[in-house]
Chain A
Amino acid sequence: MRPAFSADAMRLAIPALSLTVLLAAVFWLQPRAMSYVGLNLLFNLAVPIALATIAQMLIIAVNDLDLSMGTFVSFVACVTATFLRDAPLLGTLILAGAVLVYAVLGVVIHLRDLPSIVVSLGMSFVWGGLAVLLLPAPGGQAPDWARALMTTKPPLAPIAIVASIVIALGAHLLVMRSSLGVLIRGVGGNERSVERAGWSVLAARAAAYGLAGFFAVLAGIALVGLTTSADANIALRYTLLSIAGVILGGGEFIGGRVSPVGAVIGALTLTLAGSFLSFLRISPDWQIGAQGVILIIVLALRLFLNRVEKREKGQ
């Protein structure tokens, strides 16, 4: 029997389904959310999370893990609220340098065969320290263009939705349709065969890290565009949120199996889960636990469907 859906489509079905169910529940609890303004309020903080999730996804695609995502986005936010506004050229240079550092990290991790968890954990202190040096006290101001971009009111759909779709499409084209994306996923899937086929694994890993740095920079800029100013600790939650977003969106820790569209949906689902619990009036002491329960339910569902899929193939 030929499966009705491709494996990729299956991979996307569950995150999309969870998002729809959650969204329906939120609309039922809070009908006010069912409007242009309401949707924007629900989802606008998901835009930087979605970008950070794409960044994390690129790292996971090459079988690595980035534990410095939160501090790096915080650092970018601090640069955006200070240099990028007051001295755009210098600010751009700093951010370009930061992306370069990410690419170099990929090279170092590959050449020295270092565990990415340890390297990125170390880097998290570096980024955190730099952020505190830049902004010892919370402050700074978002560049006007970033603020304008995040608060535009496009026709039909609010900016949060438009931005999510653009991010998902852009990342999809990059990771699923371009040759570079195939190479990056190939490194995660089977490093050796990629190497034997004559490709440079080193270059692929450097590219994956560099692209991850680029998306993380976008996340920091988007975040400051929303908050109007920065704080050295502004995005610490993003490390875990981005990892959870990738997995929730159908990605896997190993094997180069990732889904950019799923990752964006995963980020939206995580954001929505918080709002859902808050509308339910669940006490904050239970909220972290409840958020965990939602995650486990979605993952259990996926495991179950994977098993069904396998059994069908076996027959």
Chain B
Amino acid sequence: MTIRKMLMASVAVACAAMPVSALADTSGKKIALSNNYAGNSWRQAMLTSWNKVTGEAVKAGVVAAADAFTTAENQATEQAAQIQNMILQGYDAIVLNAASPTALNGAVKEACDAGITVVSFDGIVTEPCAWRIAVNFKEMGRSQVEYLSKKLPQGGNLLEIRGLAGVFVDDEISAGIHEGVKQFSQFKIVGSVHGDWAQDVAQKAVAGILPSLPEIAGVVTQGGDGYGAAQAIAAAKRPMPVIVMGNREDELKWWKEQKEANGYETMSVSIAPGVSTLAFWVAQQILEGKEVKKDLVVPFLRIDQDNLEQNLANTQAGGVANVEYTQEDAIKVIEAAK
């Protein structure tokens, strides 16, 4: 005990004596990714980005290891066991996309108590000792209406396509859209359908509601549903409204075709799967000893008229537009939160 106390005291003295600017070296640190699910294109892109960026970081000697683990079944108890295994394996930081915001708190607390840095992103955890890189879904919804207000200053009727009923993300984006409509009162939502973030579902739902709607000026969406909406509206031979897209490859392709044919203008917004790499760099910064706020916000990946072609070229067929983040991006996000 006394030896431990003495050690601790000497560490404390060393810490106090060190100048603030000198940061710890992370080349010996090991980071693990705990992922709950890999069964869709977004998650696959997320894992590919992780492997690419962290592979380079390991090669460059920034960190010693950055291993990715995915649970076989999307279950909180299984992921809790996975995190406990990571503690035993001696990782210095765990980057986490969680199956449940609350059911992993016990395991996360164990990790924190073992001195491990836990950074959750996308699927975040509520345990106070962990860092959170959250998506501001409300702002994602609101920004769509803001864009439309600049594009169509005279306002008009909007059709809202929602996601999967009962899911938190759907409620948040929709709340943001309604907030935006309140802010820009020249707009009015005349219809709302659930597109389940899938083009075929959205197409059927929009085709079903169209006959009952007056002329619509814009369609506000949640991603994965813009192309289906466009197909339904084209089939009904109605004038094409401004459809906000969600960075899917089919949506961007359709937009580009329309842009070339008749100068169609819109914008597209979603979260890049490469956010896993942002979480990686944030974890690295924390290990380096940077003071980082517990709650950070993911920047959106927004595609506009002028950078459409470039983004489409970088997007895989059937995939989602992606960006991989760098250490500088992470530092910028950390600074912005201060």
Q: Which residues of A contact B (CB under 8 A)?
A: 30, 32-33, 37-38, 41-42, 44-45, 136-140, 223, 226-231, 233-238, 271, 274-275, 278-279, 281, 284-285, 287-288, 291
Given contacts A229-B103, A229-B105, contact A284 B70 (CB under 8 A): yes
Question: Looking across the interface, which residue of chain B has its beta carbon closest to that of A284?
Answer: B70
The interface residues of chain A lying within 8 Å CB-to-CB of B85 are 41-42, 275, 278-279
B263 on the A face (CB < 8 A): no
The interface residues of chain B lying within 8 Å CB-to-CB of A285 are 72
How far apart are the CA atoms of A45 and B88 in the complex, in Å? 14
How far apart are the CA atoms of A274 and B69 in the complex, in Å? 13
Which one of B38, B90, B100 contacts A234 once the chains associate, using CB atoms below 8 Å? B100
Taking a contact as CB atoms under 8 Å apart, the answer to whether B76 and A274 are in contact is no
Per-position binary interface string of chain B over residues 63-79, scored 1 when its CB falls under 8 Å from any chain A CB and 0 otherwise: 00001011111011110
Beta-carbon contacts under 8 Å, B74-132 to A: 75-78, 80-82, 84-85, 87-90, 100-107, 109-110, 114, 126-127
The interface residues of chain B lying within 8 Å CB-to-CB of A233 are 75-76, 100
Question: Looking across the interface, which residue of chain B has its beta carbon closest to that of A33?
Answer: B88
Taking a contact as CB atoms under 8 Å apart, the answer to whether A288 and B72 are in contact is yes
How far apart are the CA atoms of A279 and B88 in the complex, in Å? 9
The interface residues of chain A lying within 8 Å CB-to-CB of B105 are 227-229
What 10 A-B pairs come out closest when comparing CB atoms? Answer: A229-B102, A231-B103, A284-B70, A227-B106, A138-B102, A228-B105, A231-B100, A41-B84, A287-B72, A288-B72
5 A-B pairs whose Cβ atoms sit less than 8 Å apart in the complex? A37-B114, A41-B84, A42-B88, A228-B127, A231-B100
How far apart are the CA atoms of A85 and B73 in the complex, in Å? 30
Question: Looking across the interface, which residue of chain A has its beta carbon closest to that of B35?
Answer: A284
How far apart are the CA atoms of A233 and B103 in the complex, in Å? 9
Query: Known contacts A41-B110, A233-B76; can you find 18 more A-B pairs with CB under 8 A?
Result: A30-B89, A37-B114, A38-B88, A41-B84, A41-B87, A42-B84, A45-B84, A136-B166, A138-B102, A227-B103, A229-B105, A230-B103, A234-B103, A237-B77, A238-B77, A271-B81, A279-B88, A284-B38
The interface residues of chain A lying within 8 Å CB-to-CB of B114 are 37
How far apart are the CA atoms of A171 and B104 in the complex, in Å? 29
How far apart are the CA atoms of A169 and B13 in the complex, in Å? 51
The interface residues of chain A lying within 8 Å CB-to-CB of B77 are 45, 223, 234-235, 237-238
How far apart are the CA atoms of A236 and B73 in the complex, in Å? 11
The interface residues of chain B lying within 8 Å CB-to-CB of A226 are 80, 106
The interface residues of chain B lying within 8 Å CB-to-CB of A38 are 88
The interface residues of chain A lying within 8 Å CB-to-CB of B127 are 228
Per-position binary interface string of chain B over residues 137-154, scored 1 when its CB falls under 8 Å from any chain A CB and 0 otherwise: 000000000000000000
Distance (Å) between the CB of A52 and the closest chain B CB?
A: 11
Distance (Å) between the CB of A35 and the closest chain B CB?
A: 9
How far apart are the CA atoms of A139 and B70 in the complex, in Å? 24
The interface residues of chain A lying within 8 Å CB-to-CB of B90 are 32
How far apart are the CA atoms of A237 and B99 in the complex, in Å? 13
Taking a contact as CB atoms under 8 Å apart, the answer to whether A278 and B82 are in contact is yes
The interface residues of chain A lying within 8 Å CB-to-CB of B72 are 284-285, 287-288, 291
How far apart are the CA atoms of A177 and B276 in the complex, in Å? 55
Distance (Å) between the CB of A140 and the closest chain B CB?
A: 7
Which one of B38, B78, B87 contacts A274 once the chains associate, using CB atoms below 8 Å? B78
Taking a contact as CB atoms under 8 Å apart, the answer to whether A231 and B87 are in contact is no
The interface residues of chain B lying within 8 Å CB-to-CB of A44 are 84
Distance (Å) between the CB of B173 and the closest chain A CB?
A: 16
Question: Looking across the interface, which residue of chain B has its beta carbon closest to that of A141?
Answer: B102
The interface residues of chain A lying within 8 Å CB-to-CB of B107 are 227
Question: Looking across the interface, which residue of chain B has its beta carbon closest to that of A287?
Answer: B72
Distance (Å) between the CB of A33 and the closest chain B CB?
A: 5
Distance (Å) between the CB of B311 and the closest chain A CB?
A: 30
The interface residues of chain A lying within 8 Å CB-to-CB of B88 are 30, 32-33, 38, 41-42, 275, 279
The interface residues of chain B lying within 8 Å CB-to-CB of A138 are 100-103
How far apart are the CA atoms of A41 and B86 in the complex, in Å? 10
Taking a contact as CB atoms under 8 Å apart, the answer to whether B76 and A231 are in contact is yes
Beta-carbon contacts under 8 Å, B154-201 to A: 166, 168
How far apart are the CA atoms of A42 and B163 in the complex, in Å? 39
Beta-carbon contacts under 8 Å, B40-72 to A: 67, 69-72
Question: Looking across the interface, which residue of chain A has its beta carbon closest to that of B89?
Answer: A30
Distance (Å) between the CB of B25 and the closest chain A CB?
A: 23
Question: Looking across the interface, which residue of chain B has its beta carbon closest to that of A282?
Answer: B72
Question: Looking across the interface, which residue of chain B has its beta carbon closest to that of A38?
Answer: B88
The interface residues of chain A lying within 8 Å CB-to-CB of B84 are 41-42, 44-45, 275
Which of A42, A228, A279, A285: most chain B Cβ within 10 A? A228
The interface residues of chain B lying within 8 Å CB-to-CB of A33 are 88
How far apart are the CA atoms of A37 and B71 in the complex, in Å? 23
Taking a contact as CB atoms under 8 Å apart, the answer to whether B89 and A227 are in contact is no
How far apart are the CA atoms of A226 and B72 in the complex, in Å? 21
Taking a contact as CB atoms under 8 Å apart, the answer to whether A234 and B69 are in contact is no
Question: Looking across the interface, which residue of chain B has its beta carbon closest to that of A136?
Answer: B166
How far apart are the CA atoms of A138 and B85 in the complex, in Å? 24
The interface residues of chain B lying within 8 Å CB-to-CB of A32 are 88-90
Taking a contact as CB atoms under 8 Å apart, the answer to whether A140 and B102 are in contact is yes
How far apart are the CA atoms of A288 and B101 in the complex, in Å? 24
Distance (Å) between the CB of B180 and the closest chain A CB?
A: 24
Distance (Å) between the CB of B9 and the closest chain A CB?
A: 24
Distance (Å) between the CB of A273 and the closest chain B CB?
A: 11
